[in-house]
């Protein structure tokens, strides 16, 4: 047994093996680069690749989309619960509740076989967008809009939110963001999911735990926090003064830095062009100029490149999406990666149980309460 190693936050520690993706030398999903996938694939093809191990043939894609369409429904009792959750509850909290609740109506809930876990993963992939859109509409005093089996998952997200047929341009932008957010090796929320299912717990418990982990602003919650930064800065003209002041106060600038990518997040690089194009089409050039100024100064002063959340927040803003939906959109995509890891863990499981270095009091004698 090798001497136990200790690394705060498990930095640099190899905590397991996976065949699903690697972040070494760029981001690769089961051998395909995310640049190729974002350029040429649809999110459904990428979801099939991550869950089933291969890009689908036309027949397999049609069958996969057919299963998603069959699963694209949520129990009326859950929709009624979504209407009863108090106004103002963050959408990420609603997603956490819904992922857990959906288990109660899933006939495979107690079955941890590979086939059942795949079915449950496909159910959640189709159901979570419906939950998010239904809650969004109910919270705005509108009735939910039914899923349209003729649209893609990306197109349905926009259709069910706005009841307006999405332009091909916006549906494609959403699709690209879902591909880029889908999977990222042993990030905190994925690792949380693997820890939970390593006890032989179930898919829904693992996904619920992952949503809880993703919510934090050091992780998925950063894309909403990035929008807070951009709103606080206000205009490109104020950007330099704002960022220099923030850095002088040692503030953590949301959307920058990464535990693994030290020379840049390839996903952020990929989204840069799409962001710029959509900004021009929607009249948000000033926000792009603001972002450029902040990015240049954070890079030069702190040596910190932007991560995916830095451009994705702007992309969603240009698409007219409310900030409260940004991290839930990350959930709708990452549920694929989480599920793939849960299935992989359960297919070849060993309980995940690390050790801790003890820093508490030395052994001491019992003290009766009268003497304390
Ligand atoms: C995601 O892991 C994944 O794969 C996650 C993800 C995925 O796809 O699943 O990529 C998605 O979560 C992206 C990250 C989103 N989070 C943010 O944008 C929040 C801001 N970023 C930071 O909090 C930070 O960069 C982390 C949390 C992302 C990484 O932190 P680490 O590896 O623990 O590094 P650290 O906090 O120890 O920082 C090292 C140094 C520190 O300076 P010193 O105290 O040593 O002088 O860098 C500084 C930090 O202060 N630093 C920052 C900074 N990030 C690091 N300083 C200012 N602003 C920042 N954003």
**In this structure, are 77 and 129 located in the same domain?**
yes
Q: Is the CB of 262 under 6 A from ligand 1?
A: no
Residue identifier of the C-alpha nearest atom 44 of ligand 1? 250
Q: Is the CB of 312 under 6 A from ligand 1?
A: no
**In this structure, are 134 and 230 located in the same domain?**
no
**In this structure, are 274 and 242 located in the same domain?**
yes
Compute the distance between CA of residue 202 and CA of residue 143 in angstroms, rounded to an integer.
32
Radius of gyration of the chain (CA): 22
Task: Give a yes or no: residue 46 inside a domain.
Answer: yes
pLDDT of 165 reads 95
Q: Is the CB of 246 under 6 A from ligand 1?
A: no
**In this structure, are 310 and 271 located in the same domain?**
yes
pLDDT of 4 reads 78
pLDDT of 5 reads 85
pLDDT in tens, 260-277: 999 999 999 999 999 999
CB proximity list for 357: less than 8 A, separation 6 or greater: 6
Span 171-200, average pLDDT: 98
Ligand 1 mean position, distance from CA 195 (Å): 22
Span 316-342, average pLDDT: 98
Do residues 279 and 287 lie in contact, with contact meaning Cβ atoms separated by under 8 Å? yes
pLDDT in tens, 35-82: 999 999 999 999 999 999 999 999 999 999 999 999 999 999 999 999
Share of the chain above pLDDT 90, in %: 98
Task: Give a yes or no: residue 231 inside a domain.
Answer: yes
Task: Give a yes or no: residue 113 inside a domain.
Answer: yes
Span 338-366, average pLDDT: 97
pLDDT of 193 reads 99
pLDDT of 3 reads 76
Q: Is 16 exposed, middle or buried (0-12, 13-18, 19+ CB in 10 A)?
A: middle
Span 25-32, average pLDDT: 97
Compute the distance between CA of residue 144 and CA of residue 141 in angstroms, rounded to an integer.
10
Do residues 51 and 218 lie in contact, with contact meaning Cβ atoms separated by under 8 Å? no
Please check the confidence at residue 1 and state whether its pLDDT lies above 80: no
pLDDT of 2 reads 73
Please check the confidence at residue 126 and state whether its pLDDT lies above 90: yes
**In this structure, are 115 and 193 located in the same domain?**
yes
Q: Which domain holds residue 176?
A: 19-216+323-347
Residue from 106, 108, 175, 309 carrying the catalytic annotation? 309
Compute the distance between CA of residue 328 and CA of residue 90 in angstroms, rounded to an integer.
10
Span 216-228, average pLDDT: 98
Share of the chain above pLDDT 70, in %: 100
**In this structure, are 164 and 250 located in the same domain?**
no
Task: Give a yes or no: residue 65 inside a domain.
Answer: yes
**In this structure, are 306 and 328 located in the same domain?**
no
**In this structure, are 279 and 160 located in the same domain?**
no
CB proximity list for 134: less than 8 A, separation 6 or greater: 74, 79, 82, 144, 160
CATH number at residue 308: 1.10.230.10
Number of domains in the chain: 2
Point out the ligand 1 atom lying closest to the alpha carbon of residue 214. Answer: 12
Ligand 1 mean position, distance from CA 15 (Å): 20
Average pLDDT, the chain: 97
Q: Select from 298, 318, 338 the last residue of a domain.
A: 318
**In this structure, are 295 and 161 located in the same domain?**
no
Task: Give a yes or no: residue 354 inside a domain.
Answer: no
**In this structure, are 195 and 249 located in the same domain?**
no
CATH number at residue 158: 1.10.580.10
Task: Give a yes or no: residue 340 inside a domain.
Answer: yes
**In this structure, are 228 and 130 located in the same domain?**
no
**In this structure, are 82 and 52 located in the same domain?**
yes
Task: Give a yes or no: residue 359 inside a domain.
Answer: no
């Amino acid at each position: 047994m090798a001497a136990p190693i200790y690394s705060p936050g498990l930095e640099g520690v190899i905590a397991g093996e996976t065949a699903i993706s690697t972040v070494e030398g760029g981001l690769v999903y089961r051998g395909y680069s995310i640049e190729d996938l974002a350029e040429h694939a649809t999110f459904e093809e990428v979801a099939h690749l991550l869950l089933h191990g291969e890009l689908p043939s036309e027949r397999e894609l049609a069958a996969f989309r057919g299963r998603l369409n069959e699963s694209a429904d949520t129990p009326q009792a859950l929709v009624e619960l979504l209407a009863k959750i108090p106004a103002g509850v963050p959408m990420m909290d609603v997603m956490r509740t819904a992922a857990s609740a959906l288990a109660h109506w899933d006939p495979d809930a107690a079955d941890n076989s590979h086939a059942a876990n795949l079915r449950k993963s496909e159910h959640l992939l189709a159901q979570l967008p419906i939950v998010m859109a239904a809650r969004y509409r109910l919270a705005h005093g509108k009735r939910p809009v039914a899923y349209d089996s003729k649209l893609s998952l990306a197109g349905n997200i926009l259709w069910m939110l706005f009841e307006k047929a999405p332009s091909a341009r916006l549906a494609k932008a959403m699709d690209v963001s879902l591909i880029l957010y889908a999977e990222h090796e042993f990030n905190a929320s994925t690792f949380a999911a693997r820890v939970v299912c390593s006890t032989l717990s179930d898919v829904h418990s693992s996904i619920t735990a992952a949503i809880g982990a993703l919510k934090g602003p050091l992780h998925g919650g950063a894309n909403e926090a990035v929008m807070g930064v951009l709103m606080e800065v206000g205009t490109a003209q104020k950007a330099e003064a704002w960022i220099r002041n923030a850095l002088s106060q040692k503030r953590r600038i949301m959307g920058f830095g990464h535990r693994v990518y030290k020379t840049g997040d390839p996903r952020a690089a990929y989204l840069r062009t799409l962001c710029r194009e959509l900004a021009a089409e929607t009249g948000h050039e000033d926000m792009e100029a603001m972002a450029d100024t902040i990015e240049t100064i954070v890079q030069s002063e702190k040596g910190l490149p932007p991560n995916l959340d830095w451009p994705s927040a702007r992309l969603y803003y240009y698409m007219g999406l409310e900030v409260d939906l940004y991290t839930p959109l990350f959930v709708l995509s990452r549920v694929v990666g989480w599920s793939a890891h849960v299935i992989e863990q359960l297919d070849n499981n060993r309980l995940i149980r690390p050790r801790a270095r003890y820093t508490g009091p030395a052994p001491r004698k019992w003290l009766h309460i009268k003497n304390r």
